[in-house]
Chains A and B, each alone.
Chain A
Amino acid sequence: DQQVKQNSPSLSVQEGRISILNCDYTNSMFDYFLWYKKYPAEGPTFLISISSIKDKNEDGRFTVFLNKSAKHLSLHIVPSQPGDSAVYFCAASARDNAGNMLTFGGGTRLMVKP
């Protein structure tokens, strides 16, 4: 049972344009959401997070939107740069966890073309 889903395995975007990566979840107990970027042979790098008390969080070129009623979050990258090409994972944690155990989506491979 996949509680966090990224339905697009890949996305191709032109440099300078907006990249929108989507993520859906099913567990209504999730209250903290994160996006990670991963290059081959490296660990995931934390990008941005959002708590369920907010619907938007912005950090430079990265903005995360949370729609709790739809159980959907998205990551916007604008403008996209070739160095953004990587696999992006969304992750979520639930308030009833003993700790902040993360449940990950399957990832979306972003390719930004120069």
Chain B
Amino acid sequence: NAGVMQNPRHLVRRRGQEARLRCSPMKGHSHVYWYRQLPEEGLKFMVYLQKENIIDESGMPKERFSAEFPKEGPSILRIQQVVRGDSAAYFCASSREMTNQPQHFGDGTRLSIL
């Protein structure tokens, strides 16, 4: 979807395991955003990153969640010790390095916790 690549598309974990979600932004985009969509709800902002920097993580839960966007490779959203409430669709978006540019989304990773 619009060139933002997310994998895996589906991820099943048992409670207590770790989940790693990957996102490669569109070519030419240097800003990456992660959003979470719980069932029957809209998307909620989690974190905004540029290469090697976390710019805004105001939407991230305080514990167990972390994100990175290394100099090389995709952005990673990491959830440690997953719980049932982490089950959701996680979407990554990217945009150009300018204000008021639309964000383009990947098709998401659907995380299911058993």
A contact residues vs B (CB 8 Å cutoff)? 4, 31-32, 34, 36, 41-46, 49, 51, 89, 91, 93, 95, 97-107
Contacts and interface: CB of A to CB of B under 8 A. Distances in A.
A30 B31 CA distance: 20
A32 B43 CA distance: 17
B56 A42 contact: no
B45 interface: yes
Interface residues of B, number: 31
19 contacts: A31-B100, A42-B107, A42-B108, A43-B2, A43-B93, A43-B105, A44-B43, A44-B105, A45-B2, A45-B105, A49-B100, A99-B33, A99-B48, A100-B31, A100-B100, A102-B33, A102-B35, A104-B44, A107-B42
Contacts, number: 78
Interface of B: 1-2, 4, 6, 31, 33, 35, 41-45, 48, 55-56, 58-59, 91, 93, 95, 99-108, 110
A89 B43 contact: yes
Given A98-B48, A98-B56, A105-B42, 13 more contacts: A34-B103, A36-B105, A41-B107, A42-B107, A43-B2, A43-B6, A43-B91, A44-B43, A44-B105, A97-B56, A100-B100, A102-B93, A107-B42
Contact of A43 (B4, B48, B56, B58): B4
Given A89-B42, A99-B48, A43 B107 contact: yes
